[in-house]
Amino acid sequence: MVKADDKFRGIARELDGLGRLCLPIEARRSLAFNDRQEVDMYIEGEKICIRKEGKVCAVCGRTGELFDLYPVKEVHICKSCALAVTDMVMEKGL
């Protein structure tokens, strides 16, 4: 385990027979995860990323904590991406 400035920096973990792993308590505390916390998991390059569940832009991945997100059907889109889509539709006449 590597710690710096009281923040969790990493530890090697082994997957069990079903491909599961346990998040170390230090990581859960560092990110203020609650018991039974729902999380979002996604792949970014060669990394598997885990974060607290929350609303994210379906186009760019920005979180709703930092940006206003607008619901569109069953996803959310940030203002920047919504404007980019609107501009594209207006330009191309889609």
Render pLDDT for 25-74 as a digit per residue (tens, 0 to 9): 888 888 778 787 778 788 989 988 887 777 778 888 777 665 688 888 87
Residues 25, 35 contacting (CB under 8 angstroms)? no
The pLDDT value given to residue 2: 46
Tokens coding 52? 């607290």
Distance CA(32)–CA(23), nearest Å, equals: 12
Q: Which of the pair, 84 or 13, is modelled with greater confidence? A: 84
Q: Which of the pair, 9 or 35, is modelled with greater confidence? A: 35
**In the CATH scheme, what architecture does the domain 1-53 have?**
Ribbon (2.10)
Structure pTM?
0.46
Domain residue extents for the chain: 1-53, 54-94
Residues 74, 54 contacting (CB under 8 angstroms)? no
